[in-house]
Amino acid sequence: MSGQTAIRIEHLGKRFGAGPLVLDDVNLSVEAGEFVCLLGASGCGKSTLLNLIAGLDRPTTGAIDVPAEGAAVMFQESALMPWLTARQNVELALRLRGVARSARRAEALELLDTVNLADAAEKRPHELSGGMRQRVALARALAQDRPVLLMDEPFAALDAITRDLLHEELERVWRRTGRTIVFVTHNVREAARLGQRVVLLSSRPGRVAGEWRIAETSGRRIESPEVAALSIEITEQLRKEIRRNAA
Amino acid sequence: MPHDTDGQLLVEPVETDSPVETGSPFEADSPAGNNSTDSVSTSSTSKADDLRSLEAGLDRLQTDPEHAPGAWQRFTTSVLPPILFVIALVAAWQLYVVIAQPRPDIVPGPVDVFNAMALGWESGRLQTAVITSLERGVVGFLIAVVVGTPLGLLLAEVKPLRRAVGPIISGLQVLPSVAWVPAAILWFGLTDATVYFVVLMGATPSIVNGLIAGVEQVPPQLRRVGTVLGAGRTRLATLVVLPAALPGYVAGLKQGWAFSWRSLMAAEIIAVGGTIGFGLGSMLQQSRELADIGGVLATVLVILFIGVLIELVFFAPLERRMLRRRGLLQGGTR
C-alpha cells in the first residue's frame, strides 16, 4: 500500500455523560486505501467508534485524525429518503456536495450503474429489496466523494445469499475506487472475508484486543478454506474476550 | 495465536487459487488491487458480467412488479360500495315512510327532502348559501394554513417553545370552536371577521399539531444521514425534515379542513344578521324557524355532501398519491 495514513486514532476514550467507559485507550491507524474490519461482540463500542471517526460525536479523551474532506457513512438501515427515487437519493448527496444541477443526473446514473442498479434508477425505496436499497445507499455514499468510507454493519439485516453478493460488489467497488474503508461488523466470517486487516475489539470497555493482517486478499469467498481457518482463530479469541465478562 | 492485546499475526492463505477455480470477481485494472497479477483480463471482465447478471437475477426475484389498480377495479372497490350503501339507506328510509306513515312534518320522506332541495335551488337561495359558505370555508381554511404552518414549524424545531406552548395548542384542539362565537360577536360584531375568527381558532390547532406530529415522527436516522451528507441546519429542514414530515402535515390539513367546515357551520347558525351573508348555517337556522323539517334535512344533506366532496376530490387523492409514493399504502409492495 501507499503507506500514507488516512485515519489515526490515539489514546481514544469515550464515555457518555457519567456512564461507564465505552471506549478505553483505543489506538489504531488506517492507511489510505486500506480495508479494515472492526470486529467485536455487542457493547464493544464499534458503532461509537465509527460515529467518532465520522465526526458525529466528540471523543472524551485522545485524538482522531481524519482527512479534511471527512468521511462518508453507510448504516445498517439503508436510510434512503422514502419520498425520493433511487436516482434522486443519490442526487441529494451530490446536491449537498455542491455538484451543479446540470451534472447531477448523469453522475447519479453513473454511480447507480457502478452498483448494477441502472435499471432501478426511477424506483422508490419501498419498491426495492433490502439488498438493492443497500446498494443505493452505497452509491449515495460514493456520491459524497470522500476518501474514507465508514460502514456500520451495512449487511447485517440481509439474507445470506444477498450478503454474499454484496461482499463481492463491495470488494469490486473498493478495488475500483481505491477508497479507505472501515467496516464494522459482529460477523467473524464477514470480517475474515472482506478485510485486509481485522481488528478485534473487547467489550466494556472497548479496547483493541487483537489484530490480524491478511496478506492475500484476492479471490476470497465466504466459503474459502483460508477464510474459515482465520474465522476459527478469530472466534476463539473473541470468545475469550466475551468470557471475561462472565466473571 | 494472539494472546496479548497488540498481538499481530500474519495469516497466509492456505493456497492461492487460480481465478478459474474459485473465481476472482474483480476487474484486473483496479488501481487499489494489490494483487491482480493472477487474474487474466478477459476472465475478470466475464466475472464482473457474471456478478452483474447474478445481481440482476436476485433483484428480479426479490421484487414484485407493482401493479396500480385499474380504473374499473378502483371503481368497484372504492366508488361503488358507498354509492350502494347510500341507495340502500334511502330505500330503507322510503320503505319506513311508506309502511309506518309517520307525520310528514316530523319525519319527511326522501321525496319531500328532495323537493325542499329543488325549491331552494329554484329560488336561488341554495346556490347563494353554498357559494357563501364554501368561499368562507376555503378562505378561512387557507388563512389557518398560512398561520398554522410557520407556527407549527417553529414549535416543532424549537423545543423549549414547544414545551411551553404545545399543551395549550393541544388544549385548543379539544375546545369546541363554537365556544368562541359569543366572544367573537362581542369583539367583531356581526361581520365576516367573526366567522373567520371562529374558523381560524377551529382549524389552526389541528394544522399545528399535525405538523408537530409529522416532524416528531421523522426517523432520527434520516436526520443523521442528512448531517452525514453535509446538510446544514437550513438545508436539513428543507430537504430532509419537511418532506419527511409531509404525511403528518397532510393529515393535519385534512383535519384542519374538517374543523374549519364544522366551525363555520356553528358560527353561521349562531351569528345571523348584521353584515354576515347568507350561508348554509343561516339557511339551516331559517328552516328551523319556519318549522320546515324538509328544508332542515335538505340543508344537512348539502352540508354533509360538500364536506365529503372536498375530502374525496381534494384530500383523498393527495393523501393516496403521497402514501403510495412512500410505500405506506396497504397493499403496496414491501
Model confidence pLDDT, tens digit, residues A225-235: 777 778 888 88
> Does the N-terminal peptide bond of residue A205 adopt cis geometry, omega within 30 degrees of 0?
yes
Tell me if residue A221 falls in helix, strand or coil.
coil
Please give, rounded to a whole number of angstroms, the shortest distance from the CA of A60 to a CA of chain B.
21
Most confident listed range (A188-197, A234-243, B168-177, B300-309): B300-309
Percent of chain A with pLDDT over 90: 1
Determine whether the interchain pair B11/A131 forms a contact, defined as Cβ–Cβ distance below 8 Å.
no
Q: Which residue has the cell 487474474?
A: B39
| Chain A interface disruption, residue of B22, B39, B59, most A CBs within 10 A | B59
A126–B contact, CB cutoff 8 A = yes
Residue B36 is predicted with a pLDDT of 41
Output DSSP code: residue A120.
Answer: G
Question: Which of A147-156, B44-53, B300-309 shows the lowest per-residue confidence on average (mean pLDDT)?
Answer: B44-53
A with B: how many residue pairs have Cβ under 8 Å apart?
189
Domain span(s) for CATH 3.40.50.300 in chain A: 1-70+147-247
Going by C-beta distance under 8 Å and a sequence separation of 6 or more, which residues neighbour residue B290?
none
Cβ-defined contact of B332 to A126 (cutoff 8 Å): yes
Cβ separation A176–B31 shorter than 8 A: yes
Q: Which domain holds residue B296?
A: 109-324
B82 lies in some domain: no
Domain A1-70+147-247: homologous superfamily in CATH: P-loop containing nucleotide triphosphate hydrolases (3.40.50.300)
Residue B138 has pLDDT above 80, yes or no: yes
pLDDT of B23 > 70? The answer is no
Least confident of A82-91, A135-144, B37-46: B37-46
Question: A159-197 burial string, b = 16+ CB within 10 Å, else e?
Answer: eeebbbbbbbbbbbbbbbbebbbbbbbbbbbbbbbbbbb
B143 pLDDT higher than 90: yes
Average pLDDT of the residues of chain A: 83
Q: Are A93 and A108 in contact (CB under 8 A)?
A: no
Q: How confident is the model at residue B43 (pLDDT cuts 50, 70, 90)?
A: low
* Predicted-complex ipTM score: 0.80
- Cis amide bond preceding B247, omega within 30: no
CATH classification at residue B198 = 1.10.3720.10
The length of chain B, given as a count of residues = 334
Q: How many domains does chain B divide into?
A: 1
B18 versus B284: the higher-pLDDT residue is: B284
pLDDT bucket at B256, cuts 50 / 70 / 90 = very high
Phi (first) and psi of residue B44, to 5 degrees = -75, -35
Report whether A47 contacts A184 (CB < 8 A): yes
Is a pLDDT exceeding 70 seen at residue B39?
no
Residue B186 to residue B194: CA distance in whole angstroms: 9
**B68 touching chain A per CB within 8 A:** no
Per-residue cell: B132: 357563501
Asked if residue B211 has pLDDT above 80, the reply is: yes
Instruction: Note which residues in 206-265 of chain B have CB less than 8 A from chain A.
Output: 219, 221-222, 224-231, 235, 239-240, 243-244, 246
| Coarse DSSP helix, strand, coil percentages of chain A, rounded to the nearest 5 percent | 40, 25, 35
Q: Confidence class of residue B20 from pLDDT cuts 50, 70 and 90?
A: very low
At residue B42, the pLDDT reads 52
Q: Which residues of A touch B240 (CB under 8 A)?
A: 81
Phi/psi at A212 (5° precision): -125, 135
pLDDT at B145 over 90: yes
The alpha carbon of residue B140 is apart from the nearest alpha carbon of chain A, in Å, by 30
User: How many CB atoms are located within 10 Å of the residue B287 CB?
Assistant: 20
Average pLDDT over residues A96-115: 85
Q: What is the mean pLDDT of residues B285-295?
A: 87
The residue assigned the cell 376530490 is: B313
- pLDDT, tens only, A28-58: 888 888 888 988 877 677 778 888 888 888 8
Identify the three-state secondary structure at position B190.
Answer: coil
Residues A76 and A19: their CA atoms lie apart, in Å, by 25
Contacts with B6 from chain A: Cβ below 8 Å: 208, 211
Query: Is pLDDT at B88 greater than 90 in this prediction?
Result: yes
